[in-house]
A and B are shown apart, each in its own frame.
Chain A
Amino acid sequence: MHHSIELYDIHVKLGDAWVLSGVSVEAKPDEFVALVGANGTGKTTLLKVANGMLRPSKGMVKMLGRELWHAANGNNGVRKEVGFVPQRSASRHFPMRVDEAVLMGRYGKIGLLRKPSRDDRDIAQEALEVVGMQRLAAKLIHELSGGEQQKVALARALAQEPSILLLDEPTTYLDADSQSDIMETIYRLHRQRGLTTLLVTHDSYWVEQYSNKVYLLKDGKSQLIRQNT
C-alpha cells in the first residue's frame, strides 16, 4: 500500500476566520515528519483534515494513495485505517476498562451491527502489549496516570493496524520521564512497523531527535524548514 500523506494547498475556514490558507505538507512512506508552530496556527486542524475528520474548504487531501473528498469519494474510509492520537485523552471519569478502550480502535473496521471477533480482541491485546500496558488491562481508564492514558491512546491507534500515524502533541501535560517513555515508544513503533508518522509538537528536542522533515505553520501557511538528506 502507498502509505503516504499528501496535503496540497489546504484552506480551512472555521467560522469567519481562515485557519489554514494554503498549507502543503508531504510525508513519504516510512518518514517521520514534524509539524511545529505557535498555538492557534492550525496544527490540530491540519491533522483532522489529514484524517478525513474535517473537510477542507479548498485543496487536495491524498492519504494512502487515495484522494479524499473528490467527487463521491467522501473521506474514503480513511479514518478506519489511519491511527490518530489526540492531544488529550478523555481525563473525565468514565466507566471503561483499558482493554475496552483499546478495542475501540477496531470498531470502525468491524462495522455496524457486528461484534468484535476473537481476532479483533487478539489484535487489541497485542497493541496493549506493544506499549507495555497489558498488566493494566482490567483497570478503569480514569484510574491511570496521564502518561499511561496516552499509551492507551497510542495502543488504540495501533489496534487499527494503521500504516500512517497522526500524533497531536502526545506528550503535553506529561512529566519528563513519561514524555521520554511515550516518545521512545512512538519512535520504536515507527521504525519497527514502518509507520509514516506526522507529529505535531512544541518540543524541539524530539523534533531534532527523530524527524526526517520539519514543517513550520505560521499565518495560515506552511514552510519546510528542515529536511534530512
Chain B
Amino acid sequence: MTWFGSLSFPFMQHALMGVLFAGIAFPLIGVFIISLNLIPLRFAMMHVALLGGALGLFLRVDPMVAGLLLCALSALALGPVSEKTKIGLGTISGYFMTLTLALSFILFYKGKINVIQAFSILWGNIFALTAWDLVAVGGVSLFVLCIIFLFFKEIQAILYDREIALAVGIPEKALYYLIVFMLGLTIAVSMRMIGALLVDAFVLLPAMAAGMIARSLKQSFILSSLFGLVSGVSGLYVSFRFDMPASSTIILAASLIVAVCMIFGRGFSHA
C-alpha cells in the first residue's frame, strides 16, 4: 500500500493530524524550556503525566484525560508552591518526580495493570489517537499559539531575563506561571501521542535545533515549529514505509535535524 493510499484509513488521518498540530505548537514549549532552564520541571511533568495515566488505567477512565487534569493541576500548583516555600522550582520538581513515580508503581501493582498497558503510557501510540485525543492535542496547540501571539513582547522579555522583565513593569510572575501551565498541558497530551519517555521528540529537539541557528526569538519560534512539523511528518512516513515504531522514527528525524543544525549552526543560542 502506498503512503497516500494509507491516508484513507481514519487511524492514519488521525496520526497525521496529530503530528501536524503537535509538530507546530509543541516545539514552542521547548523554546521556553531551554530559555528558562525548565528541564527539571519538564522531567517532573513527564512523571506527573505518567501518574495521571496510571490513575486513568486504575480508575478505568481515559489515561490522557486523567494525565491532562493532573498535569494542569500540578502546573498550576508548582509555581506558587515553589514561591511560597522558597524552594527552587528544580528542587520541588525533583520532589514531585520521585513522589509521582512511587505512586504510579503502587497504582500499577494494586490495579493489577498489565505490563503492556503500563508501557503504552511510557511509549504512547500515535496510531491509536481518537477524535477526542485530536480535540485535546488541537486545543492545547491552539492555546499555546494564541498565548504566544498575544503576549509575544512580554514573553520575549521574560525569556531574556526574568528580573529585567519584572523591573520594567511586566506582570512577570503571572506570565511565568502561565508558561509553566502550558508546559504541563503540552507534556500531558504529548504523552498520549508519543509516550512519556519520548516527549522530547516534539517538545525539546526541534527547539534545540532552532536555537542553534536562529537570530531572533521570532525565528526560534518559527524554525522550531518548522522542524517539529518536518520531523513529525517524515517520522510518520518512515514508520509506515519501513514498519518501525512511529515514536522512534519521529525521534530519529528530530535528532537528525539537531545534528545538521549542530554542524551548520553557530552553537546553542539559548544555552
Kindly identify which residue among A81, A95, A108, A116 contacts B269, using a CB–CB cutoff of 8 Å.
Answer: A95
A118 within 8 A of B: no
A86 x B164 contact (CB < 8 A): yes
Chain A 134-158 interface 0/1 with B at a Cβ cutoff of 8 Å (1 = within):
0000001000000000000100100
Chain A 95-111 interface 0/1 with B at a Cβ cutoff of 8 Å (1 = within):
11100110011111110
Kindly identify which residue among B150, B161, B269, B271 contacts A113, using a CB–CB cutoff of 8 Å.
Answer: B150
A107 x B157 contact (CB < 8 A): yes
A92 within 8 A of B: yes
B5 within 8 A of A: no
A95 x B154 contact (CB < 8 A): no
B159 within 8 A of A: yes
| Most chain A CB atoms below 10 A, which of B159, B166, B215 | B166
B154 x A107 contact (CB < 8 A): yes
| Most chain A CB atoms below 10 A, which of B164, B267, B268 | B164
- Categorize the interface residue count of chain B: 20 to 34
A86 x B163 contact (CB < 8 A): yes
B157 x A94 contact (CB < 8 A): no
Complex-state Cα separation, A156 to B157, whole angstroms: 12
Contacts of B164 in A (CB 8 A): 86, 90, 104, 153, 156
Contacts of B219 in A (CB 8 A): 95
B214 x A95 contact (CB < 8 A): yes
B217 x A112 contact (CB < 8 A): no
7 closest A-B pairs by beta carbon, nearest first, are A108-B169, A80-B169, A79-B169, A84-B167, A90-B161, A108-B168, A95-B269
A-B contact pairs, 11 of them (CB 8 A): A15-B86, A53-B166, A84-B168, A86-B167, A92-B270, A93-B268, A93-B271, A95-B270, A104-B157, A107-B153, A160-B169
**Interface of A toward B, CB cutoff 8 Å:** 15, 51, 53, 77, 79-81, 84, 86, 89-90, 92-97, 100-101, 104-110, 112-113, 115-116, 140, 153, 156, 160
